[in-house]
Amino acid sequence: MENQRNSGLENPIEKYPKPPYPGQQQPFPGLASKMDPLPDHGEKSYIGSGRLKGRKALITGGDSGIGRAAAIAYAREGADVAINYLPAEESDAQEVIALIEAAGQKGYAIPGDITDYAFCEKLVEEATASLGGLDILVNNAGRQQASESILDITNESFDATMKTNIYAPFWITKAALPHLEPGSVIIATTSVQAYDPAGILFDYAQTKAANVAYVKSLSKQLGAKGIRVNGVSPGPIWTPLQVCGGQPAEAIPEFGKMAELERAGQPAELAGIFVLLASNEGSYSTGQVFGAAGGMGHP
């Protein structure tokens, strides 16, 4: 009877590797395929059930991390998916496209730098043409570089963070909006840094707070049009963002240990939230920010 009662339960503390992790650093923007341990994006675990059948999604930063987990889940739920990424991330991106196609869906790889306004317009145009429309937009790509002092942040680095995390979602949303019909969704990836910012992430934290305001304000504009806008607020998630300057090198071995679940989260653990927010089951959620932070931060 005891075994029956506990069937299928997973202890979240023991589900994935816990610190200490091997020390590691990569040059920006980093590759998931070179991380140790390898992140889990749901490659083997995510099972779809047709919740997004016929949908058409564009995901920025879809080559690795949270964007990759969303892309895999969306494809296995029946959506065709276009992903954007930097050219240096091509090998990771091709793995994602192969996974999308293995799920029986169409996958489109669109490399390019979203800090460039002209490319953002081109990205939406190409994604919409390839997909035959657009009804899910996930503004997920982010830039995070840790600095001990504001004095260490160059104007060039500050500008790149602002353009990646704030300007690009603005440009991409403007370009996408004419294509979005009632029932479409926009999802932004924000962070616990929006609510409880670390001193070493001074510029990044500001952009994540802006992403929360993006969700709250834009949802009020688009609610009457039947377009939902929501956000996902991750905590410490094991992605290339962390090992290519997002955390100090000495912090990597203990990354995530401060969470109540005593470990870093895996991208796959956020996939279900992105699916819910994109699906018809989430039809009464707009202007909301959903947290997945292992017990840390808000909301």
What's 153's domain CATH number? 3.40.50.720
Q: pLDDT value at position 111?
A: 98
Active-site residue, selected from the candidate residues 16, 21, 204, 214: 204
pLDDT tens per residue, range 91-129: 999 999 999 999 999 999 999 999 999 999 999 999 999
pLDDT tens per residue, range 190-202: 999 999 999 999 9
Domain that holds residue 231: 48-292
High-pLDDT (> 70) share of the chain, %: 98
Residues 227, 186 contacting (CB under 8 angstroms)? yes
Residues 39, 69 contacting (CB under 8 angstroms)? no
What are residue 290's DSSP bridge partners?
232
User: Per the domain annotation, does 40 fall within a domain?
Assistant: no
Strand order in the sheet with 185-189: 107-111, 80-85, 56-60, 136-139, 185-189, 228-234, 289-292
User: Per the domain annotation, does 251 fall within a domain?
Assistant: yes
Entry pTM: 0.96
User: Per the domain annotation, does 66 fall within a domain?
Assistant: yes
pLDDT at 39 over 60: yes
Query: Could you confirm whether 204 is annotated as catalytic?
Result: yes
- Closest to 191 in 3D by CA, of 231, 162, 161, 233: 233
**Across residues 215-234, what is the average pLDDT?**
98
User: Per the domain annotation, does 8 fall within a domain?
Assistant: no
User: Per the domain annotation, does 26 fall within a domain?
Assistant: no
pLDDT tens per residue, range 252-296: 999 999 999 999 999 999 999 999 999 999 999 999 999 999 998
User: Per the domain annotation, does 9 fall within a domain?
Assistant: no
Number of domains into which the chain is organized: 1
User: Per the domain annotation, does 234 fall within a domain?
Assistant: yes
Q: pLDDT value at position 297?
A: 73
User: Per the domain annotation, does 165 fall within a domain?
Assistant: yes
